Chain A
């Protein structure tokens, strides 16, 4: 048993290379002086630097900001995470609580952060196995057999993902559309369109591939995306706040369809 040795070592002692605030004086942000060396960096650049420790170039900042703009912020309060914010608005809760809860909910299994990290992770795993000599069709078949889905392919409600075309044209404009991971996602789509699968690529695969081509690891990519739905969450809160309280999709009693035990006495 190691016992509490790491606790003794760290009591009132935290060694960090992430940064520190020197009150009234300066701020160090991952080894750089915030006010001197990072003052011209756009917020997306600072966010990525904070996550990766690498300062992105202008084209990368445009790409990563473009992914957020084009693919992540739909101010539609029917979507589960946005609906949380609208509910917070209609009950007159605060904007920060609405956004925090909306972002927390965005860490979902059927959309959002979980498919995102799984999509980029799949690309890395498949690329590693391809480089070790495996055969791509076999890898795709094995993944589908084992996990039933491939994140980034197939989409409920509609087959076509309306975000692919605009993101691809941004990537082309930035000359990022021919990277090895982007190519790989299209090859996988070709395979998945054959046979009985008929699975089209969705935006999770393309965005993950673009990030992978820029050298983000699966967890760096997930961290970059944590706040990305915020742009659509906040308008849903505001919309509900501006309308009479309690009026966001109210439910009358008979909208609960009861399917449980019969009436009984305690």
Chain B
């Protein structure tokens, strides 16, 4: 450890202290832009989000793609596992933060979650727009020999293991994003969806579309995973608040849903 005052290094944020208090900022610069003196009122929320992650302004097309993705995944609806987690917090009267933490924890996973998006983005990095490489990877997914806190994948990332055919919202999102993308991944995905679904033996899921969009936006895997977690929180918040008002008596308990297979013998 070095002597003297340790500092936080940042390529994102710079502050100028107020003359009367070094613990208060008089000006804040994000990647060189004066946030409160210039950027506020000019940059949209989506442009600012892009700037925060990439330290550059998005082109109009990039901003439009990110905006489209953000709207598409903002609310997966109350049947989604992550939203249900948030509603369980809301309906029990838990703290607001715990609603979002529950949504993050459940929505982080490998079924329809952020880690699935990360794995699907790894497929894009590995296979690019090479159909044969995709088919090989979908049919023979790489196996990690070491144990990890993440369990081994149980289905091809980006595809829905319980799907019968590609869901209409997924198709609509893919069509819109492909039309508005500065990159090639989304339109390639749209063209080759049938072959990829055959190789995966299940239909494309929203996670697969999101991963392609993140690739077209040139986000790295960690940025894509973070964004997927972040952008799904609005729906979690809205549904948690809604169920809090309805109350637990009107929320499913699965009263007759449990079948105990191991009764005490003694």
Footprint of B on A, CB under 8 Å?
A: 1-4, 6-7, 12-17, 19-20, 28, 30-33, 36-37, 93-94, 96-97, 100-101, 104, 107, 113-114, 117-118, 120-122, 125, 147, 218-219, 222, 250-266
Q: Residue B67 at the A interface, CB < 8 A?
A: no
Task: Specify which of A100, A107, A256 is in contact with B15 (CB 8 Å cutoff).
Answer: A256
B38 in contact with A253 (CB, 8 Å): no
| A257 proximity list for chain B (CB < 8 A) | 7-10
A260 touches B97 (CB 8 A): no
Q: How many angstroms from the CA of A255 to the CA of B147 in the assembled complex?
A: 39
Most buried by A among B38, B42, B162, B265: B162
- Bound-state Cα–Cα, A160 to B209, Å: 49
- Evaluate contact between A100 and B101: CB separation under 8 angstroms: yes
Establish whether residues A263 and B29, one from each chain, have CB atoms under 8 Å apart when the complex forms: yes
- Cβ-closest 10 pairs across A and B: A258-B14, A121-B147, A260-B11, A17-B262, A253-B17, A31-B262, A261-B32, A252-B22, A3-B164, A253-B15
Q: Select from chain B the residue with minimum beta-carbon distance to A259.
A: B11
Closest to A6 in B: B162
When distances are taken between beta carbons in the complex, the residues of chain B under 8 Å from A118 are 146-148
| Interface stretch (choices B226-234, B237-245, B252-260) | B252-260
Contacts of B18 in A (CB 8 A): 253
Knowing A97-B95, A122-B146, the reply to whether A259 touches B201 (Cβ < 8 A) is no
Q: Give the distance in Å from the alpha carbon of A251 to the alpha carbon of B15 in the complex.
A: 12
Bound form: Cα–Cα A265–B257 in Å: 60
Chain A binding surface, main DSSP class: mixed
User: Given A121-B146, A258-B13, A265-B38, do A101 and B101 touch, yes or no (CB 8 Å)?
Assistant: yes
Q: For the complex, what is the distance from the CA of A17 to the CA of B260, rounded to whole Å?
A: 6
A2-B161, A254-B17 known; 5 new pairs, CB 8 Å cut-off, are: A16-B258, A30-B262, A31-B263, A93-B97, A253-B22
Give B85 Cβ to nearest chain A Cβ, in Å.
13
Q: Is the interface of B mostly helix, strand, loop or mixed?
A: loop
| CB-defined contacts of A252 to chain B, threshold 8 Å | 17, 22-23
Instruction: Please list 5 pairs of residues, one from A and one from B, whose beta carbons are closer than 8 Å in the complex, sorted by A's number.
Output: A12-B254, A12-B256, A15-B261, A33-B266, A252-B23
Contacts of A265 in B (CB 8 A): 33-34, 38
> What count of chain B residues pass the 8 Å CB interface test?
58
Q: Does B145 count as interface, using CB distance less than 8 angstroms?
A: yes
**B10 partner residues in chain A, CB cutoff 8 A:** 256-260
Interface centre among B10, B14, B264 (most CB of A within 10 A): B264
CA distance A31 to B46 in the complex (A): 52
Q: Are B258 and A14 in contact (CB under 8 A)?
A: yes
Q: B202 at interface (Cβ–Cβ under 8 A)?
A: yes
Contact residues of B with A, CB < 8 Å?
5-18, 22-25, 29, 31-34, 38-39, 42-43, 55, 57, 95, 97-98, 101, 105, 145-149, 161-164, 201-203, 254, 256-266
Are B8 and A260 in contact (CB-based, < 8 A)? no
Contacts of A218 in B (CB 8 A): 147
Residue of A nearest to B38 (CB): A266
Chain A residues with Cβ under 8 A from B34's Cβ? 263, 265
A12: chain B residues at CB < 8 Å are 254, 256-257
| Residue pair A117, B14 in contact (C-beta under 8 Å) | no
Knowing A1-B164, A14-B258, A28-B264, say if A100 contacts B98 (CB, 8 Å): yes
- Min distance, Cβ A51 to any Cβ of chain B, angstroms: 15
Which residue on B lies nearest to A3, using beta carbons?
B164
Q: Whole-angstrom distance between the alpha carbons of A14 and B252 in the complex?
A: 14
Q: Tell me whether A255 and B149 are in contact (CB under 8 A).
A: no
Q: Are A260 and B38 in contact (CB under 8 A)?
A: no
Nearest A residue to B254 via CB reads: A12
Closest approach, in angstroms, between the C-beta of A261 and any C-beta of chain B?
Answer: 4
B97 touches A2 (CB 8 A): no
Cross-chain contact A254 with B257 (CB below 8 angstroms): no
A264 to B37 CA separation, bound complex (whole angstroms): 12
Residue of B32, B145, B147, B259 near A263 (CB, 8 A) is B32
Choice from B15, B57, B101, B162 contacting A266 with Cβ under 8 Å: B57
Closest to B8 in A: A256
Shortest A107–chain B CB gap in Å is 5
* Closest beta carbon of chain A to B240's beta carbon, Å: 15
Q: How far is the CA of A147 from the CA of B17 in the complex (A)?
A: 45
Q: Which residues of A contact B266 (CB under 8 A)?
A: 32-33, 36-37
Q: Do B263 and A28 touch (CB < 8 A)?
A: yes
